[in-house]
Amino acid sequence: MHIARQIMAVRPIGEVYVPYIKLVLETLVENLRAAAKSMIPGIAREDVFQSLFPIPPFDEQHRIVHRFLDIEPLLELYTVADTRLISLNAAFPETLKKSILQEAVQGKLVPQDPNDEPASVLLERIRAEKEQLIKEGKIKRDKHESVIFRRDNSYYEKMNGIERCIDDELPFEIPESWEWCRLGTILQKLTDGTHSTPKYAASGIPFISVKDISSGKISFESTKFISEEEHELLASRCDPHRDDILLTKVGTTGIPVLVDTDRPFSIFVSVAQLRFSTELLDKCFLIYLLKSPLVQTQCRENTKGVGNKNWVMRDIANTLICIPPLAEQKRIQASLANVLKSI
């Protein structure tokens, strides 16, 4: 029999138990391979020859091999368990964050204060402010406006003149001072960026897409640019500014980002613009709400398509959310900021 030069043959001499030799060689080769610094995988013959090789009495060689065969299945189980533990430890921080966010949006993170103005009154104030903006011609009326209310210990929704019970859609109970509503209900503006690829320029106004906010913050480091003239044209429809929320809706969907800059920019169709009253809603609480499992689950369920998936605007507007009193929103976001920074 002939063997290739990449294979090394070992022939034991003397009183040795071949399975024992094989067992030691497997350990030896594994250690040599781990210590190898060559770019080409493999080990040198000289390294094998110069390695110390423990030789116990012949009978003990037998005992070692048989003992190893007895525990080998346990070693395999340990490897599987250890791999699983490593995976769980790696995922634990993110899992813990999701759990805390879920507790927060269920009203379990901070205590309710009976002196807080209830969310029902808050929603009426939001509707009144939107109605005023409609009269002033600053925003358009939502043709699919939703109103969710309680009656006879059940929740009902009135939309498009049709009233229906939505008890089956509600994932959990909320405190008495909280209210269920659709995301579009609390927004003054919900739109997305231009649906047409603009003419890019070497410099000018940054043009933001999903890749520029996927980290959870706006990054201008690798943005494309458009001219000021094209930016002004796009801004007549979509004009993000400080304290708006950007939300990814194509590709990697459901990432909310608070606009914390006064620098002008335009956005692509892959990003949605959410504008709301910062006097009636806490911006940081809304970011946490959009990151919570309540919203992220709906995002996954409603993101459609193959390849470049899309969370369409109507589904974003119809996302079911729960709103606490404004004072409690502030307590929740302060508590979350303090808890999450340590994870």
- Reduced 3-state DSSP string for 153-208: CEEEEEECCEEEECHHHCCCCCCCCCEEEEHHHHCCEEEECECCCCCEECCCEEEE
Residue 132 lies in a domain: yes
In residues, how long is the chain? 343
pLDDT for the residue 41: 64
Q: What are the backbone dihedrals phi and psi of residue 341, each rounded to the nearest 5 degrees, phi first?
A: -70, -20
Confidence (pLDDT) at 52: 80
pLDDT tens sequence across 133-184: 999 999 988 888 999 999 999 999 999 889 999 999 999 999 999 999 999 9
Pairing of strands 266-267, 224-226: unpaired
Q: Which two tokens stand for residue 119?
A: 């969310």
| pLDDT, tens digit (0-9, with 9 covering 90-100), for 281-317 | 999 999 999 999 999 999 999 999 877 899 999 999 9
Model confidence at 7, in pLDDT bands (50, 70, 90)? Answer: confident
Amino acid 36: pLDDT: 66
- Identify the bridge partners of residue 302 per DSSP, sorted by sequence position: none
Inside any domain, residue 141 = yes
> 42 — alpha (psi -120 to 50), left (phi > 0) or beta?
left
Under the banding of pLDDT at 50, 70 and 90, the label for residue 50 is: confident
- What's the total number of domains in the chain? 1
In-domain check, residue 22: no
Alpha-carbon Rg of the chain, whole angstroms? 31
Given a cut of 80, is residue 195 above it in pLDDT? Answer: yes
Q: What local confidence, expressed as pLDDT, does residue 21 receive?
A: 84
How confident is the prediction for the chain on average, in pLDDT? 91
Largest CA distance in the chain: 101
Q: Where are the beta strands (DSSP E) in the chain?
A: 146-151, 154-159, 162-165, 179-182, 189-192, 200-201, 205-208, 224-226, 245-248, 256-258, 266-267, 271-275, 320-323
Range of the domain at 242: 108-340
CATH of the domain at 177: 3.90.220.20
* CA 322 – CA 170 distance, rounded (Å): 10
Contacts of 314 (CB under 8 A, 6+ apart): 144
The band of 18, judged by pLDDT with boundaries at 50, 70 and 90, is: confident
Question: What's the rounded mean pLDDT across residues 45-74?
Answer: 85
Residues 6+ apart with CB under 8 A from 86: none
44 pLDDT band (50/70/90 cuts)?
confident
Contact present, 205 and 265 (Cβ < 8 Å): yes
Is 1 part of a structural domain of the chain?
A: no
Asked if residue 325 lies in contact with residue 116, where contact means CB atoms within 8 angstroms, the answer is yes
pLDDT value, residue 306: 78
Residue 223 lies in a domain: yes
Residue 257 domain-assigned? yes
The verdict on residue 184 lying in a domain is yes
Whether the predicted pLDDT of 39 surpasses 60: no
In a domain, residue 49? The reply is no
pLDDT of 261 reads 96
